[in-house]
Amino acid sequence: MQDQLHYRNRRCVPITVEHRDNYGGDAMLDQLDHKELQRLLQTCPVGALLLDSGGRVSWINDALAELIGAGAAAAVVGSNAMTIDAKLKSLLQPGGPFRVPDGKGGDCWLVSTGVPLSDGKGQVNYYVDVSVSHALVNERDQLLAQLEDLRPIDATTGLANRRALLQVLEPQVSRSRRYNNPLSVVIMHLDAYQDYFEQRGDEEATRIVISIGHLLNDQMRWADVIGRLDENEFLFILPETSHAAAEKLASKIHAMLQELELEDSDEVLAVATSFGVAEWRKGDDTGMLMQRAREMLSKNSDAA
């Protein structure tokens, strides 16, 4: 006989056969007649549904009818997995959480447990409404995603992420506009980024990206800022740097990536890259500077 759950101090304690006698055993249940058991199931505060031996819904209780709506409840009785409304089919598949219409124009989220009847006579499914907890989990996940967006660090490489890079670039452009100081940016594109994931798998591809990040970080001056602009792109922000000097740095990094030593490995990999270099010009704002760098990147990628 399946273990039942006893609620004590808000904790679920499994009652095994050897412990059941301490809670009254089956003696009290033996005193309940058929009609009394029906009444208890009908008034149970959690939803209940009875399947016959052929998998057809023969009965549901008031709690489940309240959860899915009276109209849906009436339609469910007599149906099976083949004939039940597609939106309610999850009711016949214990588990969850799953979503079903609530009969009020909205949805509710349920979890279900199935208990087979003796001698293969059917099954009782019990349903608990977890809509509130499901909504809280979704809200938590959304807040975590928003928090991740606010983080200034790329989780894979430990370098600045896109948000942080643009926050750094804006005042650098403003400084050049005010003092006419040189400023260059370099966009580096990983040409075979997707191939790494398809051919090597996620773990190996991630290790390649980490190794690239470490190499780039080692080549930057203290005043430079480098980060991951996108999954397959890095951005170098180079204050006090001319276009010629930025191109020289890009060529140096291109050559070094032809012999990239992977982290925690003896493997040396030739990483295919393209670069777009742009220097700030009088009248440029951040968008104009980045646009010219991207145009050069596209030109160089096409040439390759």
Nearest one of 127, 90, 133 to 111, comparing CA atoms: 127
DSSP state, residue 222: T
Say which CATH architecture domain 45-135 belongs to: 2-Layer Sandwich (3.30)
> Given a cut of 50, is residue 15 above it in pLDDT?
no
Work out the percent of the chain whose per-residue pLDDT is above 90: 41
pLDDT tens digits, one per residue of 187-205: 999 999 888 888 888 888 9
- Dist CA 11 CA 212 (whole Å): 50
State in Å, rounded, how far the first CA of the chain is from the last one.
Answer: 71
pLDDT tens digits, one per residue of 144-166: 887 777 778 898 999 999 999 99
Biggest alpha carbon–alpha carbon distance for the chain: 94
Task: Please state the pTM of the whole predicted model.
Answer: 0.57
Q: 62-70 long-range contacts, Cβ below 8 Å, gap at least 24?
A: 63/127, 64/127, 67/100, 67/102, 67/108, 67/110, 67/127, 67/129, 68/100, 68/101, 68/102, 68/103, 68/108, 69/101, 69/102, 69/103, 69/104, 70/103
How high is the pLDDT of residue 4? 36
Nearest one of 230, 231, 277 to 253, comparing CA atoms: 277
Nearest one of 72, 104, 118, 106 to 91, comparing CA atoms: 72
Sequence ranges of the domains in the chain:
1-31, 45-135, 152-303
> Given a cut of 60, is residue 30 above it in pLDDT?
yes
Q: How sure is the predictor about 32, in pLDDT bands with cuts at 50, 70 and 90?
A: low
- Dist CA 261 CA 200 (whole Å): 16
C-alpha distances (whole Å) from 132 to each of 107, 108, 112, 182 are 11, 9, 16, 56
Q: How sure is the predictor about 122, in pLDDT bands with cuts at 50, 70 and 90?
A: confident
- Dist CA 51 CA 127 (whole Å): 14
> Given a cut of 60, is residue 214 above it in pLDDT?
yes
pLDDT tens digits, one per residue of 49-83: 988 888 898 888 888 888 888 888 888 888 888 88
Q: What is the topology classification, in CATH, of domain 152-303? A: Alpha-Beta Plaits (3.30.70)
